[in-house]
Amino acid sequence: MVGTVGGDCQALNATMRGVVKGLCNTYKDVEIYGFLEGYKGLIRNNYKLLKAEDFSGILTKGGTILGSSRQPFKLMGVPTDDGIDKVKAMKETYKKLKLDCLVVLGGNGSQKTANLLSEEGLNVIGLPKTIDNDLWGTDMTFGFQSAVDIATAAIDCIHTTAASHNRVFIVEIMGHKVGHITLHAGIAGGADVILLPEIPYDIKSVCKALDKRSEQGKGFSIIAVAEGAISKEDAALPKKKRKEKIANRPYPSVAYEIADQIKDTCGCEVRVTVPGHTQRGGGPDAYDRVLSSRFGAYAAGLIKDEKYGRLVVLKDNDVTDIPLADSAGKLKYVSPDDSIVQNARALGISFGDE
């Protein structure tokens, strides 16, 4: 009845532990079916029958004891290579095993599928997972703060070497289509420029910010770039053209493109660092351990109350729940009007847009 779906992150194990502890506190015999590799396990009836003891000692453990895989929502209607109807198979597994409910630890796409299964009549509870913190309806997802810590540590390490060599450094940070991790890690790491998908940049403005630093006698600069950052020029293109242009750019990722643009425009020496999947690695930080334990305990309460079709969320520091359908298909973006963006601007951080 539990599955970790989509890209992994810190605190998946801590969250499952929270759910199981919460249930075992009330019920004597809890049967836990742990589906292996997320929805894949549910499709293929591949699971481990687990006991409460299996969830002991995993609060601090990174990754997921169940494994995970990406099963995109948009391909849910497309049969597997060997012809299995995915949604039908998941419903059959659920019925065959006589499950009481399905607890889905997942991000955006995975919660869309959770909502679909709920609409198909299964008892489903979603828990908000993702380093990107882009799930609509919750102030915070588990995994986000731990990823911010790692991205910040990467910027901290770059700071000393950038200062020694008087170079411009670009640190490219994960986050898919949104800039929450970059914004937080950029501020925490003291970045001079922060480039986000939600605030398209102009390379001339970026160079203006770098020149200003030089005029102030600062020999180096740090730019925190979200992997989804986009120029004003590209943002103005029709969606299809923009996608094509990005897919065909002759660089491994946006940071390398920006590095070349900076070299060409202001002649600085630029280096690129991409911490990549380290941002999803290792154990959860203290914040995520607390958050995921609270989420897990709350989900156990929903199960006891037989309140299904819900997504557990954090709202104004309280753990609560909303209908899965309310969140499905919506992304939570950084807004250029958010106070955190205004605070960063007040600190002199450039977003490359003015």
Active-site amino acid positions: 132
- Judged by CB under 6 A, the chain residues 197 through 236 that form the site for ligand F6P are 227
Least distance in Å: CB of 173 to ligand F6P?
9
Least distance in Å: CB of 158 to ligand F6P?
19
Order of strands, edge to edge, in the sheet holding 221-226?
193-195, 221-226, 168-173, 270-273
Q: Give the pair of three-digit tokens for residue 292.
A: 């995921």
Q: Give the pair of three-digit tokens for residue 12.
A: 């998946």
**Residue from 174, 187, 195, 230 in contact with ligand F6P (CB under 6 A):** 174
Per the document, the length of the chain is 354
173 or 297: whose CB is closer to ligand F6P? 173
281 or 301: whose CB is closer to ligand F6P? 281
**Residue from 59, 105, 131, 210 in contact with ligand F6P (CB under 6 A):** 131
Contacts of 280 (CB under 8 A, 6+ apart): 7, 8, 9, 10, 131, 143, 147, 174
d(CA 201, CA 262) in angstroms, rounded, equals 12
209 or 226: whose CB is closer to ligand F6P? 226
Least distance in Å: CB of 352 to ligand F6P?
21
Task: Tell me if 112 contacts ligand F6P by CB under 6 A.
Answer: no
Helix 180-188 and helix 339-346: axis angle, to 10°?
A: 30
200 or 275: whose CB is closer to ligand F6P? 275
Least distance in Å: CB of 134 to ligand F6P?
8
123 or 130: whose CB is closer to ligand F6P? 130
Task: Tell me if 280 contacts ligand F6P by CB under 6 A.
Answer: yes
- Judged by CB under 6 A, the chain residues 39 through 78 that form the site for ligand F6P are 70
By beta carbon distance, the residue nearest ligand F6P is: 174
Q: Which long-range CB contacts under 8 A does 105-108 form with residues at least 24 apart?
A: 105/2, 105/3, 105/4, 105/5, 105/12, 105/15, 105/16, 105/129, 106/4, 106/5, 106/6, 106/38, 106/130, 107/6, 107/7, 107/132, 107/134, 107/135, 107/141, 108/134, 108/135, 108/331
Say which amino acid occupies 40. Answer: K
Question: If binding means CB under 6 A, how many residues of this protein chain bind ligand F6P?
Answer: 11
φ, ψ of residue 54 in degrees (nearest 5): -65, -15
d(CA 299, CA 142) in angstroms, rounded, equals 14
Least distance in Å: CB of 81 to ligand F6P?
19
49 or 75: whose CB is closer to ligand F6P? 75
**Residue from 3, 4, 35, 132 in contact with ligand F6P (CB under 6 A):** 132
Return the CA Rg of the chain.
22
- Judged by CB under 6 A, the chain residues 79 through 108 that form the site for ligand F6P are 107
**Residue from 110, 115, 130, 182 in contact with ligand F6P (CB under 6 A):** 130
- Judged by CB under 6 A, the chain residues 290 through 349 that form the site for ligand F6P are none
**Residue from 22, 128, 175, 275 in contact with ligand F6P (CB under 6 A):** 175
Contacts of 147 (CB under 8 A, 6+ apart): 9, 10, 131, 174, 181, 279, 280
50 or 230: whose CB is closer to ligand F6P? 230
Least distance in Å: CB of 107 to ligand F6P?
6
Strand 102-106 relative to strand 32-35: parallel, antiparallel, unpaired?
Answer: unpaired
Q: Which residues bind ligand F6P (CB under 6 A)?
A: 7, 70, 107, 130-132, 174-176, 227, 280
